[in-house]
Amino acid sequence: MSADDHFNLEDAYAVSTPEENKALYARWAATYDAEFVTANDYVYPIRVAEKAVEVLGQSPTLEVVDVGCGTGALGSLLSELRPTWEIDGVDISLQMLAVAGTKVRSDGKPVYRDLLDADLTKPIQFAKNHFDLIVSSGVFTHGHLAGRDLLAVSSAARVGGTIVVGINKQHYDNVGFAGHFAEAVSEGQISEPELTEVDIYGPKSPHFGDKGLIAVFTRLDN
Ligand SMILES: C[S@@+](CC[C@H](N)C(=O)[O-])C[C@H]1O[C@@H](n2cnc3c(N)ncnc32)[C@H](O)[C@@H]1O
């Protein structure tokens, strides 16, 4: 890991436990927006926000949770596209959440209603059967969260709620997301996920070409 509090994608992919994630993002929070989001032309949150809006349309009042919200890249975009939606953020890193808490919309209101500190690899305590919509970008990736975590996180949605989540394409294959989805579909927990391939980074990025799959599905049971 970098010694001087400047981090990159290799550092992000080198972690493997929640404790290592916490330690990395505690030090990365201050520079993440400038040195990761902007410097890498990180377009993934835009693609996930656009997909959520495409799927949910003009629904006037939705309760949304951005899981692994980090510094608020996805929530900030979504709050501009749908200012009437109430967005909460959940993350394991207090330092990333502190940056997210500074984010305001163009109308001056905070991007996030509530920001919650939780380890999403543990049983989900922050909400059960509650949210109309779960969104996420950059969290279901190497060294971070896996397929079983996504299904556990889905329990924060109400029955009939929608999940719109980006999954790194290599990670999807490496850790067997398809098998977890097939089992959850066969048990009637979720609808068959629709997958859309998107770029994670724009053409100005050294990582241009890395792909994500945006999974869209509905929570079906209790
Ligand atoms: C690459 S960042 C993505 C942040 C933001 N969603 C974005 O797209 O910019 C990954 C985030 O996942 C969070 N994270 C990693 N492991 C976690 C866990 N076990 N529980 C909750 N959040 C976690 C990190 O703290 C970090 O904020």
User: How far is it, in rounded angstroms, from Cα 222 to Cα 218?
Assistant: 12
Question: Which domain covers residue 103, as residue numbers?
Answer: 41-218
Q: Which residues contact 47 (CB under 8 A, 6 or more apart)?
A: 137, 166, 198, 199, 212, 214
Best mutation site among 28, 90, 92 for ligand 1 pocket (most ligand atoms within 8 Å of CB): 92
CATH number at residue 155: 3.40.50.150
pLDDT of the chain, 222 residues: tens digit per residue: 455 678 788 888 888 889 898 989 999 999 999 999 999 999 999 999 999 999 999 988 999 999 999 999 999 999 999 999 999 999 999 999 999 999 999 999 999 999 999 999 999 888 889 999 999 999 999 989 999 999 999 999 999 999 999 999 999 999 999 999 999 999 999 999 999 999 999 999 999 999 999 999 999 986
Residue 60 in any domain: the answer is yes
- Measured in angstroms, how far is the CA atom of residue 170 from the centroid of ligand 1? 18
Q: Which residues contact 10 (CB under 8 A, 6 or more apart)?
A: none
Instruction: Read off the DSSP letter of residue 34.
Output: I
Best mutation site among 91, 164, 167, 200 for ligand 1 pocket (most ligand atoms within 8 Å of CB): 91
Total-model pTM: 0.96
Residue 28 in any domain: the answer is no
3-state helix, strand, coil in the chain (%, to 5): 35, 25, 40
- Measured in angstroms, how far is the CA atom of residue 84 from the centroid of ligand 1? 25
Q: Report whether 76 contacts 102 (CB < 8 A).
A: no
Residue 139 in any domain: the answer is yes
* Total count of domains within the chain: 1
